[in-house]
């Protein structure tokens, strides 16, 4: 029997406000802590957790960036002649996404979303590797690089599998006692919240299901591990979207041409601009200053959030909407969804959560990049305590 199993379970979007008043895991992980998130989406949060670094350090931020020289999508521009009614359909985009991911050899999360084929040749995609694998960061190492370097046998969930399949695979591995560290990533709650919002009765139902799954994993570990150090955490929360902003129409009405005067990516809660002349910079900046649903984020504030990229790779100007506003249509989708994340980290529904069965968590664990410290510390503990006894 092994001494200890560090079990880290990330429940995507299970934020501090989602858990307010809910008894989620009170018996299994009774100690709770609110954590600061980072500025960005899951494309930012997950790498920050896995590497222990901030966006400006690991450079996994937003997915699409203006970079025509390195764009892998130039051939897709031919599709601009097809009817928008066809090319904007989600089922068509998903099929193209799957085919293109294989063709380009991308290993991380990839989605074409709603980038118009007329302009797709202007953009590159930033997550070509998987942060859930060794060597998967855009810059620097992650926890899996550490585990491999220390020869620690581990489990990590496979995004290509369902939540249930990953649960069963980990349960089997725990029953065999052949791992010394486990990282489970469940993304189902995130998708549910996007669809139904954070007040739906389906949300506590999903939490109860996760509780059952965690009990199953702990039961599988019984008899193989003397202790299970359980950490359940999230990357961010989820805010209901009660206001819609058609920012694209406001910008399109200006006497400017996309691709000639400027480039832009309309994310769900922010718009990121690159300018090719002073007129475009002035006109767009003025239009954004007149929009009451959001604001231009100043460099000083971006620097405080560790998201000021000096090379402006992810955008020269960042426009962020207030919590509860959704940019529609955007390059993420043409139709509204019920809830979203990616707002300012100090907005109430941005805060993440940490739950554990351990007696104490160091005071310095206050933000999601700090979870890496817990993972590395627990991995070192498992390496030390699970080492085979020397032969007599």
Two tokens at 51?
């590497």
H-state helical runs in 59-134: 84-87, 90-104
Does the pTM exceed 0.85?
A: yes
Q: Are 237 and 364 in contact (CB under 8 A)?
A: no
The CA-based dihedral angle spanning residues 66, 72, 76, 77, taken in that order and rounded to the nearest 10 degrees: 40
Q: Which of 185, 190, 141, 54 is nearest to 376 (CA)?
A: 141
Per-residue pLDDT of the chain (392 residues), as tens digits, is 899 999 999 999 999 999 999 999 999 999 999 999 999 999 999 999 999 999 999 999 999 999 999 999 988 877 776 667 666 677 878 888 888 888 888 888 888 888 888 999 999 999 999 999 999 999 999 999 999 999 999 999 999 999 999 999 999 999 999 999 999 999 999 999 999 999 999 999 999 999 999 999 999 999 899 999 999 999 999 999 999 999 999 999 999 999 999 999 999 999 999 999 999 999 999 999 999 999 999 999 999 999 999 999 999 999 999 999 999 999 998 899 999 999 999 999 999 999 999 999 999 999 999 999 999 999 999 999 998 766 53
Which letter does DSSP use for residue 12 in this model?
A: T
Q: Are 114 and 334 in contact (CB under 8 A)?
A: yes
Q: Are 286 and 280 in contact (CB under 8 A)?
A: no
CA atoms of 350 and 126, how far apart (whole Å): 23
Residues 6+ apart with CB under 8 A from 162: none
Angle between helices 188-196 and 202-221 (to 10 degrees): 170
Q: Which of 298, 299, 291 is nearest to 322 (CA)?
A: 291
Q: Which of 303, 261, 304 is nearest to 280 (CA)?
A: 261
Question: At which residue do the structure tokens 């910008």 appear?
Answer: 251
CA atoms of 241 and 96, how far apart (whole Å): 29
CATH of domain 242-336: 3.30.1360.180
Two tokens at 146?
């550490």
Q: Are 167 and 157 in contact (CB under 8 A)?
A: no
Q: What class has domain 2-56+130-239+347-385?
A: alpha beta
CA atoms of 382 and 7, how far apart (whole Å): 11
Q: Is the dihedral of CA 78, 82, 87, 91 positive or negative?
A: negative
Domain ranges of the chain: 2-56+130-239+347-385, 70-118, 242-336
Q: Are 184 and 10 in contact (CB under 8 A)?
A: yes
Q: Which long-range contacts (CB under 8 A, 24 or more apart) does 146-151 make?
A: 146/376, 146/379, 147/181, 147/379, 150/379, 150/380, 150/383
């Amino acid at each position: 029997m092994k001494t200890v199993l560090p079990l880290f379970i990330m429940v995507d979007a299970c934020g501090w406000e989602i858990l307010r008043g809910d008894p989620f895991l009170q018996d299994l992980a009774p100690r709770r802590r609110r954590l600061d998130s980072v500025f960005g989406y899951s494309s930012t949060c997950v790498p920050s957790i896995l590497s222990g670094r901030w966006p400006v350090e690991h450079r996994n931020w937003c997915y699409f960036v203006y970079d025509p020289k390195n764009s892998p999508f130039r051939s897709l521009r031919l599709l601009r002649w097809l009817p928008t009614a066809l090319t904007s359909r989600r089922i068509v985009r998903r099929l193209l996404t799957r085919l293109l991911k294989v063709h380009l050899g991308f290993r991380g999360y990839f989605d074409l979303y709603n980038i118009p084929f007329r302009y797709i040749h202007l953009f590159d995609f930033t997550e070509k590797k998987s942060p859930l694998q060794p060597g998967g960061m855009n810059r620097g190492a992650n926890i899996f690089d550490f585990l491999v370097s220390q020869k620690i046998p581990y489990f990590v969930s496979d995004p290509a599998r369902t939540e249930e399949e990953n649960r069963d695979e980990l349960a089997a591995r725990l029953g065999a006692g052949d791992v010394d560290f486990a990282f489970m990533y469940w993304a189902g709650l995130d998708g549910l919240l996007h669809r139904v919002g954070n007040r739906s009765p389906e949300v506590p139902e999903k939490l109860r299901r996760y509780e059952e799954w965690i009990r199953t994993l702990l039961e599988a570990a019984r008899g193989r591990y003397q202790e299970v150090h359980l950490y359940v955490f999230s990357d961010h929360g989820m805010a209901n979207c009660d206001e819609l902003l058609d920012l694209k129409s406001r910008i399109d009405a200006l006497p400017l041409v996309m691709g000639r005067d400027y480039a832009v990516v309309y994310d769900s809660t922010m718009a990121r601009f690159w300018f090719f002349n002073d007129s475009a910079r002035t006109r767009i900046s003025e239009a954004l200053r007149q929009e009451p649903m959001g604001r231009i984020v100043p460099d000083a504030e971006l620097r405080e959030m560790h998201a000021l990229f000096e090379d402006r790779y992810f955008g020269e100007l960042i426009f962020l909407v207030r919590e509860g506003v959704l940019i529609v249509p955007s390059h993420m989708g043409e139709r509204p969804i019920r809830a979203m994340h990616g707002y300012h980290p100090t907005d109430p529904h941005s805060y993440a959560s940490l739950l554990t069965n351990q007696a104490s968590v160091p005071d310095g664990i206050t933000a999601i990049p700090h979870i890496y410290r817990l993972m590395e510390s627990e991995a070192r503990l498992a390496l030390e305590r699970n080492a085979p006894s020397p032969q007599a």
